[in-house]
Homo-oligomer: A and B are copies of this chain.
């Protein structure tokens, strides 16, 4: 087992770009029906993602996966090492703030547990929703965020509420002691430096698409 203690290189922080690559490898290698046999070569993966095979081997080295000349890498071993390197094998709890359509859609996703995430509570301001459930999760009033999140040891807040209340909700989540916020609202949150924010701003996608529509379409 390749522990973090085992290789000094593992102490190095995995950069954003590398994280994305690992996630792509993971998604691809765990896709059913794509592979037969348990061996996969760096060039095969590289071809799939239209990248250089050296990059793949370096990535494998970073997370301590050893390959076999003439065979490649053991798929199951790569999957396991990515899970370990990214911490997908450790469990943590999240709370969703905003039991609207977006919150509902996000909770519908079935794959969270395989990423270690468990949704422990949902919050909403609408009194009519209180006490009911969403995807099997009880809906609590927003004012109870601090109390409930502390009791349930929630460490991630998922913001799916309207922009107007996003900052206020974030403040409560921070007060409750969450480490990170996954922000699906269009607000630019202001949080203490020790709280990590991942934004899923729709506007970045809109920009890329608009640009492609008007610049790229002609030559493609």
Q: How far is the CB of A7 from chain B (nearest CB, A)?
A: 7
A7 touches B117 (CB 8 A): no
A20 / chain B contacts, CB cutoff of 8 Å:
204, 207
* Interface residues in A71-88 (C-beta closer than 8 Å to B): 86-88
List the one stretch of A36-44, A140-148, A192-200 in contact with chain B. A192-200
* Sample (15) of A-B pairs whose CB atoms are under 8 Å apart: A1-B49, A3-B49, A5-B50, A19-B207, A23-B207, A31-B188, A86-B211, A87-B210, A102-B105, A109-B186, A111-B186, A111-B203, A117-B209, A156-B213, A193-B220
Cβ contacts A1-38/B at 8 Å (1 or 0 each): 10111111010011010011011101110010000000
* Interface residues in A98-124 (C-beta closer than 8 Å to B): 100-102, 104-106, 108-109, 111-112, 115-117
Q: Which A residues are closer than 8 A to B by beta carbons? A: 1, 3-8, 10, 13-14, 16, 19-20, 22-24, 26-28, 31, 49-50, 86-88, 90, 92, 100-102, 104-106, 108-109, 111-112, 115-117, 155-156, 179-180, 182, 186, 188, 193-196, 198, 200-220
Which of the residues B92, B201, B219 comes within 8 Å of A213, measured between beta carbons? B92
> Known: A3-B49, A156-B209. Is A105-B100 also a contact (CB below 8 A)?
yes
Residue of B nearest to A215 (CB): B87
A108 to B86, CA, bound (A): 34
A24 / chain B contacts, CB cutoff of 8 Å:
1
Residue of B nearest to A109 (CB): B202
A194 touches B211 (CB 8 A): no
A115 touches B19 (CB 8 A): no
A207 touches B115 (CB 8 A): yes
> Known: A204-B20, A219-B7. Is A211-B109 also a contact (CB below 8 A)?
no
A205 touches B218 (CB 8 A): no
Q: How far is the CB of A95 from chain B (nearest CB, A)?
A: 13
A182 touches B205 (CB 8 A): yes
